[in-house]
Chains A and B, each alone.
Chain A
Amino acid sequence: MGYKMPVLNPERLRSVSRFSQPARTYVEGYMIRLWRAVALVGMVSLVAAACAPSATPGGTASPAGSAAPTAAQPVPGGRVVIGTFVDIQRLNPSTSNDTGSSDVSGKIYDSLVTIDPKTAEVKPWLGSWKVSADGLTFDWTIDPKANWSDGKPIIAKDFLARVKMQARSKVTPNKSTFNDIEGYQDYSTGKATDISGIKIDSADPKKFTVKFTRVFCPAMVSVFGSAPMPDHIFGKYTVDNDPTKVVDDAAENNNPPVASGPFKFKEWRKGDQTILTRNDAYFKGAPLVDELVFKVVADTNVLAAQLKTGELSIGKITATDVAGFQGEDRLKLYKWQANSYTYIGWRGNNPNVGFLADKRVRQALAYGIDTAAVVQSVLLGEGAKMIQHHPNVSWAAAPEKDLNPYNYDKAKAEDLLKAAGFAKGGDGFYAKEGKPLAITIVTNQGNKLRETFLQVATEQYKQIGVKINPKVEAFESLVPKLTGGSPEVEAVIIGWSLSADPDPFTIWHSSNVASPTKAGNNFVGYSNPEVDKLIEAGRNGPDCSQAARQKNYQALNKILNEDQPYMFGYTPKEILVADAKIQGIDPGTFNLNGQWNIEKWWFKK
């Protein structure tokens, strides 16, 4: 029970608002996540399992429609209470890696860049940049209006302070984020007392230059999405010539005295709620709502209940909860395409299931499952079939017309199995050389959606003569088996929540194949030199332009679509329930929590 968060990625992306002022975006925590999603307490959902969600009287706003300018003038005031499944752990983004904390710290600390929630385009925010022809040197200028909430200007030194504190931290999981900045690793280990690649302009404290040792295209998100931290508060904890002095235990980590983002920290009531108040000194103008409260709730059932009672003003729900919100006039549902998907990963490098190394078998498994039926039964229609790694709305996705849709076709599936040398036995299952075509598929326990997916897959594969042994295992013991390449894993149903930057290096590059000696996220053991080359070109350029990277990633998606190392499964819709009085909600695929423009939200009287 408890602890059932959608562990989704913590990118707080913000983007261009449709209101008068341009809004920011933010990208702290460039990462992907195994998507644990929602488990239910031992209780059937509070709602009846009907569908027809679009009948919600409040109106199922399309993301675009909701942003249309309203006749009413925005009025300040009010409190937004956000339902969350996890308490925050640390509010210093340089040391934290959990979604709960970054959702909150992302409101307090803004980044140099912003990501458009609809297109994933990287745009200037706190800073603006110029990049050199070789793609290695970035000249930054921080917005002259940008100040900390105590009135001190946000300066280049604040970005440097961030990089330095992360370099020396003993507990950060993101120490290597800045590895490609010249001189960073020497500073990190204490060999150098300064980072040679970051130079602050002696004439203008808001100007600085960052020099990289190699071209790294995702750096725009991973490096410059890392929020500057106030040097006048945290600077003293990192001592250039003493690597034992670290920011890890600073009292201000969990009690941030100043903010660069739209909200300031007020109070953390441990295990219960975190309270932020509006930052009147915010460089894009003070937010309209007075207060943000992040309230911890036990699970989706409680979240749904509290949205209805008005104890919460917004919260993310899953498709199975949607029907319960019919007839709730004071609530409004927002749905948008998620940047995540749930798939069946086939271990191509596990001798126990050697036949999965055969592309024809994997393709047969793609044809042999009716994904439309899965989307209907698992997501009640609130999602779509996936046939490649990137979601359709991403610029990295290949056009659907260039891909094999793998429409449900039992005959074709069986033909492919026969072509792969299998013959149907008397029990109705295929076998080859006396070995049955049997696969154990494991998924994480407590995730009802995935457990349903597993049931449907087991049933449908049986119809094409493939025997599935379904298995569930606790997330925390499953993860090390996946990333450690355990032979116990033959196939897995799990999900990826993707980063706003499309770089798929950790998932598909052969250097990340999971093995007992080297952990990796490529736990299906996919290894393809051509794919490696495309990933490297998209990652290390030298041309980091969107057009150049798009070419590489579209080619990559075509190969993955053909190879079917995953049955790519489905992508769900993100569903946000909000108090219907809240105006300005405008979610997009590349902003997970739908809160990117929260400073523009206001309550209609």
Chain B
Amino acid sequence: MRNYIIRRLLYAIPTLIGISILVFAITRLAPGDPVRLYTFGALNITEEDIAGLRTHWGLDKPLPLQYVDWVTLAIQGDFGRSLQYNRPALPLLLERLPATLQLATVALVLQLTIGIPLGVIAALKRGTWIDNVIRVFAVAGHAIPTFWIGLLFIILFAVTLRWLPSQGLLTVGHDVWDIPDRVTHIIMPAFVLALGGIANYSRYLRTETLDVISQDYIRTAHAKGLRERRVVYVHALRNALIPMVTALGPLLAVLVGGALVIEQVFTWPGVGQFTYAAARSKDYPVIMAGVMVASALLVISYLIRDIAYAIVDPRIKVR
């Protein structure tokens, strides 16, 4: 198992290098100039000042050389300095990460605790109105863009009903440890972020459960006189959950990616909001650091998936 993990991590290195080359090229070749954006409106600026900034940030070197410089430092954990904030890019991002992880974690919990039961119920009540409602919800939850749902929720729950705050991490004037206040702030963005996953899992689980309950051993379990509840939750659900693990793998990364949009809508001060703003101002070091952090998360979550697979399904062995 240990060898397996090490090998997988080694495989990740060329992947990350490939991603970094791609993102580096895309950000640099896109139109726009960070120095011009940064200095825009400074009335007394001279061309020498601009050249000085370019040199200071190493933007005057040929692109391949800039990339080599970047890799050399990135390996040592130095992702360069944010042009906008004049602080190292990685710590800047990492100080935003907890907010994003909070949001993603709550969303994940919501996805599983809502999505799985919905799928099972739909399967057991197959063909009834309950099933139909859940299935319509699943398709809708998948199809409707989350930012739009987010805005609708804000109008309904924050502006009209005034049940929940519309934006941010906590109320102005409240302590950062005011947990009830934070809970009221996180519910709406987390739920909206979770919607796609809830829809996805309920559909997955419905299909899988239908598959499993038509199997012989379930009929056997029934024949043995086991109670329905036990048949469903112990015999059927456990097997139905196995394919779910594949879907769970990239989940964290998907949630972090989805957070990019949701964080905009709810002004959630996380990595997504920050990277988005960096992209707008062409803050190259922050963009690169953001993409690398997200890629690393993706690689790690795939690894966790494969390990989890081996644990839940004894038929699979990692070598």
Contacts and interface: CB of A to CB of B under 8 A. Distances in A.
Interface residues on B, range: 35 or more
Which of A30, A173, A293, A499 gathers the greatest number of chain B CB atoms within 10 Å? A173
A249 B88 CA distance: 10
A42 interface: yes
Nearest to B270: A271
Contacts of B8: none
B265 interface: yes
Which of A171, A296, A474, A483 gathers the greatest number of chain B CB atoms within 10 Å? A171
A175 B37 contact: no
Contact of A3 (B86, B151, B158, B280): B280
Interface in B261-275: 261, 264-267, 269-270, 273-274
B36 interface: yes
A510 interface: no
A476 B281 contact: yes
B148 interface: yes
B247 interface: no
A42 B148 contact: yes
A345 to B, nearest CB: 16
A388 interface: no
Interface string A521-547: 000000000000000000000000000
A249 B86 contact: yes
B47 interface: yes
Interface string B83-116: 0111000000001100100000000000000000
Interface string A87-104: 101100001011000000
Interface stretch (B123-131, B133-141, B163-171): B163-171
B167 A33 contact: no
Contacts of B84: 89, 98
A309 interface: yes
B176 interface: yes
Given A271-B96, A298-B264, A293 B172 contact: yes
Contact of B53 (A30, A171, A177): A171
A170 B56 contact: yes
B44 A179 contact: yes
Contacts of A476: 32, 37, 280-282
Given A1-B265, A42-B148, A476-B282, A174 B42 contact: yes
Which of A30, A33, A270 gathers the greatest number of chain B CB atoms within 10 Å? A270
A279 interface: no
B49 A173 contact: yes
B66 interface: no
Contacts of A79: 172-173
B49 A175 contact: yes
A42 B42 CA distance: 32
Given A32-B41, A177-B44, A295-B168, A480 B158 contact: no
A272 B36 contact: no
Contacts of A295: 168, 172
B159 A173 contact: no
A9 B280 CA distance: 19
B214 interface: no
B36 A479 contact: yes
Interface string A285-308: 000000101011110011001101
Nearest to B266: A298
Interface residues on A, range: 35 or more
Interface in B139-154: 147-148, 151, 154
Nearest to B281: A476
Contacts of B30: 477
B273 A2 contact: yes
A309 B42 contact: no
Contact of B274 (A43, A176, A271): A271
Nearest to A179: B44
A1 B41 CA distance: 23
A519 interface: yes
Contacts of A3: 276-277, 280
A55 interface: no
B277 to A, nearest CB: 6
A306 B167 contact: yes
Interface in B43-67: 43-47, 49-50, 52-53, 56
Contacts of A269: 169, 176, 269
Q: Is the interface of B mostly helix, strand, loop or mixed?
A: loop
A146 interface: no
B13 interface: no
Contacts of B33: 480
Nearest to A92: B86
Contacts of B96: 270-271
Contacts of A270: 95-96, 269
B40 interface: yes
A359 B45 CA distance: 31
Nearest to B159: A305
B77 interface: no
Contacts of B230: none
B53 A173 contact: yes
Nearest to A10: B41
Interface in A197-227: 218, 222
A481 B32 CA distance: 8
A272 B169 contact: yes
Nearest to B276: A2
A506 B42 CA distance: 10
A273 B172 contact: yes
Interface string A68-97: 000000000001010000110110000101
A479 to B, nearest CB: 6
B36 A483 contact: yes
B162 interface: yes
Given A3-B277, A79-B173, A297 B39 contact: no
Contacts of B167: 297-298, 302, 306, 311
A31 B36 contact: no
B166 A41 contact: no
A440 to B, nearest CB: 17
A324 B31 CA distance: 38
A429 B282 CA distance: 41
Given A30-B43, A97-B41, A477-B31, A1 B172 contact: no
Which of B84, B151, B169, B172 gathers the greatest number of chain A CB atoms within 10 Å? B172
B38 interface: yes
Nearest to A309: B162
Interface string B266-301: 110110011011001110000000000000000000
16 contacts: A31-B43, A42-B147, A173-B38, A174-B45, A175-B52, A222-B43, A249-B86, A269-B169, A273-B168, A296-B168, A305-B158, A309-B158, A483-B36, A505-B43, A519-B36, A519-B47
Interface of B: 30-33, 36-47, 49-50, 52-53, 56, 84-86, 95-96, 99, 147-148, 151, 154-155, 158-159, 162, 165-173, 176, 261, 264-267, 269-270, 273-274, 276-277, 280-282
The 5 lowest CB-CB distance pairs between A and B, nearest first, are A271-B269, A477-B31, A173-B42, A2-B264, A173-B39
Given A271-B96, A273-B168, A295-B172, 12 more contacts: A2-B273, A79-B173, A173-B39, A173-B49, A174-B45, A176-B44, A176-B46, A218-B43, A271-B273, A272-B169, A298-B265, A476-B37
Interface of A: 1-3, 7, 9, 30-34, 41-43, 46, 79, 81, 86-87, 89-90, 95, 97-98, 170-171, 173-177, 179, 218, 222, 248-249, 269-273, 291, 293, 295-298, 301-302, 305-306, 308-309, 311, 474, 476-477, 479-481, 483-484, 499, 505-506, 518-519
